[in-house]
Amino acid sequence: MGEASGATHCVAVIGGATAGAEVAGRLAEHGCEVVVFEQNPRPYGKIEDGLPSWHVALRRKEYDSIRAKLSHPKVHFVPNTKVGEDVGFEDLTGGWGFSAVVLANGAWRDRKLPVDGADDWVGKGLVYQNPFVISFNHQDDPDYPGERFEYPDGCLVVGGGLASIDVSKILMLENVKRVLAERGIEASVHELEVKGIPKILAGHGLSYDELGLEGCTLFYRRRVEDMPLMEAPEGADEARLEKVRKGRARMLAKAQEKYCFDVEPLSAPDGLVVEDDRLVGLRFRRTKIEGGRVVPTDETYERRGTWVISSIGSIPEPIPGIPMKGELFDFADWEHGRIDGFPNLFSVGNVVTGKGNIVASRKHAAQVSEEAIEGFLGLSGDEARTGEGDAESNVTSAARATADHVAASLGHAPEPEVMAEIRRRVQERQKAVGYPGDLESWIDQVGEPA
């Protein structure tokens, strides 16, 4: 990390993916020197690990955008460094002398399945969304060190948002691909996702019913029209709300038709079905919606499945030194992600919203359009992905707004000896992880995602 001429402030950004890279690049344009601490080897975050691999064009676009922003001469990348373990949070907010610290580390921890004792069955019939999708994205990477999963037929998916539809699609696409291969028919997951299962099958003179698959079922505690696939504008009147509800139901119906998964609404997990030391299903309680609230009824039913995959949301991982309030950081100011006791700390993106899906991170942003979400879900035509960039731009607009606010809030610049010590510490950490000093050389060294 050489001295960057003209830098007056030095800001630490925790997390190098879409929001973090946007903040870093924007602050560099304001004349700040920026150090980006990233827990993974590559700075792509949930673009690499949480966005299913069939989003080929969107992933490539975001990879290129992130690399461009992090390659700014005033931005210094520090990979394989987890704040709270490899570098102390208090060191960044105080000890090192940074002018400001921006949390952009996303939401990587799965919200727990809300049934007593459920986590006793992780790995024994219960699977969580984040490791499952990460494994799917890295299935062709022989060096992937994490847990690997198969794709059994007949899974139960508990969720309701975009991520749970991704999980359902992974299961259906992989199972159809497998059954077709058993018949001597080659079809890639990408081809099935783009064209849709019925269309591919019809091209081979087949229907879905002929495959003999049970398929997966997505269980949701609200109505299909309540599914948060698109949001209503703030202050929307009843006519606008009804239009949004119809749009949600229409999108879900299109997704079911194209990818052949089932949906069971008004069903909340209420108990475990265990046999032979394994989770083999769930007891569900029927619900109803009254005044916008989920109200449990007296009716219950059981459903069995090969696996239960919980996809009810992602939340930030705790960082030692940051106070928590429930599942989220204890923000006193949600607009800019401020926390009492840390006057130079700001936050942006999913770490504030408590959401793990890139489209869902919309702080400071306009509402994502129905067209954009349909493009993200693969419902806008064979090869088209209309609106994917529009959906993702909500993250970058939020990050730009935060970066501008941080730049306007900076006080006195660090003394030259403080800046020199920050640079020394950064170089020391970069050397410890084998970082050669520039991002392109590092990406060549660790490789692009498979």
CATH of 112-312, one of 3.40.50.920, 3.40.190.10, 3.40.47.10, 3.50.50.60: 3.50.50.60
Pick the residue with more confidence: 31 or 398?
31
Q: What is the pLDDT of residue 360?
A: 42
Mapped to the 3 state alphabet, what secondary structure does 158-223 carry? ECCCHHHHHHHHHHHHHHHHHHHHHCCCCCCHHHHHHHCHHHHHHHCCCCHHHHCCCCCEEECCCC
Identity of the residue numbered 357? N
What are the φ/ψ torsions at residue 307 (nearest 5 degrees)?
A: -135, 160
Q: Does the structure show a pLDDT above 60 at 391?
A: no
Between the alpha carbon of residue 17 and those of residues 36, 349, 397, the distances in Å are 10, 10, 14
Predicted confidence band of residue 429 (pLDDT cuts 50, 70, 90): very high
Q: What is the pLDDT of residue 394?
A: 60
pLDDT above 70 as % of the chain: 90
pLDDT-derived band at 364 (thresholds 50, 70, 90) equals: very low
Q: With a cut of 70, say whether residue 124 has pLDDT above it.
A: yes
Predicted local distance difference test score (pLDDT) of residue 49: 93
Q: What is the pLDDT of residue 326?
A: 87
Give the pLDDT confidence of 203-225 residue by residue, as tens digits: 999 999 999 999 999 999 999 99
d(CA 336, CA 96) in angstroms, rounded, equals 23
Task: Kindly give, in sequence order, each residue whose CB lies less than 8 Å from that of residue 431, ignoring residues fewer than 6 positions away.
Answer: none
pLDDT tops 80 at residue 373 = no
Residue 21 and residue 77 in contact, taking contact as beta carbons nearer than 8 Å: no
Least confident segment among 105-114, 306-315, 325-334, 430-439:
325-334
Tokens representing 71 are 């390659």
Most confident of the ranges 187-201, 219-233, 337-351: 187-201
Q: What is the pLDDT of residue 334?
A: 79
Residue 184, pLDDT score = 98
Percent of the chain topping pLDDT 90: 69
Average pLDDT over residues 223-228: 94
pLDDT digits (tens, 9 = 90+) for 255-300: 999 999 999 999 999 999 999 999 999 999 999 999 999 999 999 9
- More reliable by pLDDT, 4 or 268: 268
Sequence-separated (6 or more) residues with CB below 8 Å from residue 197: 172, 173, 176, 208, 258, 259, 260
Per-residue model confidence (pLDDT) at position 355: 57
Name the residue among 18, 234, 41 with its Cα closest to residue 107.
Answer: 18
Mean pLDDT of 357-364: 41
pLDDT 10s digits, 43-58: 999 999 999 999 988 8
> CA dist 387 to 15, 128, 433, Å?
25, 28, 38
Give me the pLDDT at residue 68, please: 96
Segment 410-423 shows an average pLDDT of 92
Question: Average pLDDT, stretch 321-341?
Answer: 85
**Which candidate, 265, 279, 270, 271, places its Cα nearest to that of 308?**
279
Task: Name the token pair of 4.
Answer: 């960057």
Taking 80 as the threshold, does the pLDDT of residue 370 lie above it? no
Q: What whole-number distance in Å separates Cα of residue 233 and Cα of residue 46?
A: 26
CA distance 379 to 375: 6
Q: Mind listing the pLDDT tens digit for each residue in 232-267?
A: 888 889 999 999 999 999 999 999 999 999 999 999
Average pLDDT value for residue range 410-437 = 94
The b/e string for 3-37 (b: 16+ C-beta within 10 A; e otherwise) is ebeebebbbbbbbbbbbbbbbbbbbbebebbbbbb
Query: Could you tell me whether strands 217-219 and 262-264 are parallel, antiparallel, or unpaired per DSSP bridges?
Result: parallel
User: Per CATH, which fold does 10-108+315-362+387-446 belong to?
Assistant: Rossmann fold (3.40.50)
Q: Residue 225 has which token pair?
A: 């029209």
pLDDT for res 389: 47
Pairing mode, strands 314-315 and 109-110: antiparallel
Show me where the domains of the chain are located.
Answer: 10-108+315-362+387-446, 112-312
Q: How confident is the model at residue 351 (pLDDT cuts 50, 70, 90)?
A: confident
What's the pLDDT tens digit per position in 65-104? 999 999 999 999 999 999 999 999 999 999 999 999 999 9
* Residue 17 in this model has a pLDDT that exceeds 90: yes
Query: What is the pLDDT of the chain when averaged over all its residues?
Result: 89
CA dihedral over 199, 201, 204, 205, signed as positive or negative: negative
Three-state SS string across the chain, please?
A: CCCCCCCCCEEEEECCCHHHHHHHHHHHHCCCEEEEECCCCCCCHHHHHCCCCCCHHHHHHHHHHHHHHHCCCCEEEECCCCECCCECHHHHHHHCCCCEEEECCCCCEECCCCCCCHHHHECCCEEEHHHHHHHHHCCCCCCCCCCCCCCCCCCEEECCCHHHHHHHHHHHHHHHHHHHHHCCCCCCHHHHHHHCHHHHHHHCCCCHHHHCCCCCEEECCCCHHHCCCCCCCCCCCHHHHHHHHHHHHHHHHHHHHHHCCEEECCEEEEEEEEECCEEEEEEEEEEEEECCEEEEEEEEEEEECCCEEECCCEECCCCCCCCEECCEECCCECCCCECCCCCCEEECCHHHHCCCCHHHCCCCCCCCCHHHHHHHHCCCCCCCCCCHHHHHHHHHHHHHHHHHHHHHHCCCCCCHHHHHHHHHHHHHHHHHHCCCCCHHHHHHHHCCCC
Cα gap 59→299, rounded to integer Å: 44
Q: Is the pLDDT of residue 170 over 50?
A: yes
How many other β-carbons are positioned within 10 Å of the β-carbon of residue 273? 17
